[in-house]
Structure 1
């Protein structure tokens, strides 16, 4: 493996680094200047006020020249320049090679958590397609000194793309890290919960003292899943939930998905927390960590959505 190191300080540093390493200079349109001028500023994507090291990890020496010239620009977020002058074709290429998504994820994470790190460093791991000598950004590893804080692959960003943009996901995990999470475990929680809740069991209906609830299909929409994930990472309890508390960080996304499914199929209706006029039914199940409440919202005569889920305080 070949390691190339640099420190983010601006476009001129990137150009000189590339020039010294590969004997070929990154060509930037003459009208672009790294100097700050009103209306003509290209802002680096990586933590503008935090100095971070960037390492390019290359698996093939034949890719060295194109890797340094392209990857250095990408990791600094200067793909904005390429987009501006390359148009839609450049944007498609940058997305296909993964540079754009991984750069935006790193930007989001470091903007959220970079200030809390003593020696932030970003490793961009590259590989090549077997049929053409084109570098593909496979993953990015964010470290504090030698300690790995979070590692994410381009394929993982693609998996949760319907939930969060790469930058939003980076910001979310950065905030989770600041709240005491292991950022990699937080990432896995989101991936698992999203995967395991794409298909939910049918609600079989209930005859209760607080009304009749007909059977129907149940969905967990992306907007509500984002809410569930954020409240878990942030440890939030909302107004109107006086008996709620936060889940421990040790639960997995699959565990929570299984609890939601169990509540839908066999949960006990709590009429005291059910709102028939608002179309909300509270279903509760006992688990090894305590009682969990799942709120379903009617969105049609025979369909529901998962509104939220939370752990109840022990009495």
Structure 2
């Protein structure tokens, strides 16, 4: 649709050049420019031509009466409709090309304002007497890329379903204040919506920061509690096992909570420590040097395998051979 608008602007440039030439000082010459511009099959916008001094000179009281209506005719082609032409007196008669062009421009305006577009409403607005004439006009508009539409003559009532309209109508100067008012109101609403969105974003960020602060404080408190519990457990282990190499608290101060599971598996917190004696590579048990085995074999051997049941026999630890 934008390409159609550019083509219409390009088609108007030759008529603008004629209006800016020195020959356009004659009112009749300006009227001929208007007639040719409105009859051309490729011109659909006329605002730039309307602004030319030679065209505006037709408003002068010195303009002959039979030529004064050409400026009004050009304004109708720019932003008016077929009904405006029918209701305005003292306008020049239209050729077949101008009649078809004005009906096509009116179809553009009606397609943007009336929903649904029934055959009856369009035929009345365009002064058409038969559905075939309307269908021919709509088909021409579709092939000229003025509208995107589909004819539905079999529906009740028959309609023309328009999905898009080319931006080929000029803006009437009298409608500018209302358009500015509408755009200003829309801008105000957009500003209010943006302010609400920014306030909501700020609230979400504040809530997120507060939530992170609480989580960090909770994690710090948990770390301190676990470290204190580990230290207390180590002190209790020192009091119950004097021959050990030091309690958990004296060796593991400064542990992080992630080391708690490993500490529990290593030291056997639950159950008061391991129920099996530990020894080092030199053959000594952790309880002291009295259980040293000079053989250093690193094995536990039951003495008296055939002893009475119910009696626990002592074990002898065979150390490494030296």
TM-score normalised to structure 2 length: 0.19
TM-score normalised to structure 1 length: 0.19
Bigger-Rg structure (1/2): 2
More strand by share: 1
More helix by share: 2
